Amino acid sequence: MTIDLLLKQARENINAVEGSKGRVKDAHVKAAESLLDQVIEADKKNPTAYVWKGVLKFRLKDYTGSIEDFTRALRLDPDESNVLNWRGVAYRYLDKPKKALADFTRSLKSDPGNPKTLYYRGVAYAELGRFKKAKVDLTKAIILDPENTIAYCELGFVLTKLSEYSDAVNVLTKAIGFEPKIAANYINRGTAFHKLGRHDKAIADYKKAIKLDPKIIQIHAAIGDALRLSGKPKEANAKYDLVLADIDNDKIGERERYIGAVLAARGLRELGKEVTRDYAKEAVQKGILTKKEVDEFLEHKS
């Protein structure tokens, strides 16, 4: 069997992995691994074989292993932009945005007009808190590919972080039109409405987000803030209490519970209520939130 045919069959098996389960999935994985091993045995300097080994491991969520194979491929073909993108995304999944950013930037040197790479780099910039640069890349990505719906979601989030709330509302409204079942879009648009003083619209968006994902307990605290600023302290108090009542509910993620508790406790104090339990201190001591994250929540003015 020729190398081209071995690679073709390996690709077919790898593409079949994503939609299969159990023994069928295992069979596709083993077949792909065997075929790629045959290619490498015949030609140890074939970069494509290492690329597909990396893709297989990526699909199996072995991101560290996929990076190793993508790196081998790049040693053989250093300027392959597609492989740099794969490795960059793998770095993102491993929470290494600086390395991801380096790969996407390198990829854009050889393919500067690639909208997917611009999107990826924009997200990496956002993860590093470099929101102005993220805005530039995401805007370019949308101009080049107006059908990239997820780019609208990310750009809306970035605009909110840049305090460009009116623009954020407009972009997120488009994002919701494309993807009406993504809770984060409603959360981010709700935040923008909230900052614009349009509290009723903020509350409506927050409620839609909770309907889509009931485990986002911290959004109840955001609703509490909107109610408090709308001159409805009793309703706000009830929302804050609801969040704190779920602090030990292990059906909800621990991080979400503590973010909600920190925000709710802050809201109750704004209402002049006494909160004896120090949720912020607990979150830091348990390693659930960093001190920097807690400080940002406590300094944030609703």
Assess whether pLDDT exceeds 80 at residue 43.
Answer: yes
Nearest-10 crossing angle of helices 3-17, 47-59: 10
d(C-alpha 116, C-alpha 107), whole Å: 11
pLDDT of residue 122: 98
Digit-coded pLDDT (tens) for 91-109: 999 999 999 999 999 999 9
Assess whether pLDDT exceeds 80 at residue 79.
Answer: no
d(C-alpha 112, C-alpha 81), whole Å: 10
Q: What is the mean pLDDT of the chain?
A: 93
d(C-alpha 111, C-alpha 268), whole Å: 52
* Least reliable range by pLDDT among 8-17, 42-51, 159-168, 289-298: 289-298
Are the beta carbons of 37 and 49 closer than 8 angstroms?
no
Q: Global pTM?
A: 0.87
Assess whether pLDDT exceeds 60 at residue 301.
Answer: no
Digit-coded pLDDT (tens) for 221-259: 999 999 999 999 999 999 999 999 988 888 888 999 999
When pLDDT is cut at 50, 70 and 90, the band that residue 173 belongs to is: very high
Closest CA to 230 of 254, 247, 259, 206: 206
Q: Which amino acid, 294?
A: V
Digit-coded pLDDT (tens) for 120-156: 999 999 999 999 999 999 999 999 999 999 999 999 9
Q: How far is CA 75 from CA 26, 40, 45, 48, in A?
A: 30, 15, 10, 12
Digit-coded pLDDT (tens) for 177-223: 999 999 999 999 999 999 999 999 999 999 999 999 988 889 999 99
Q: What is the mean pLDDT of residues 42-58?
A: 93
Higher pLDDT, 77 or 57: 57
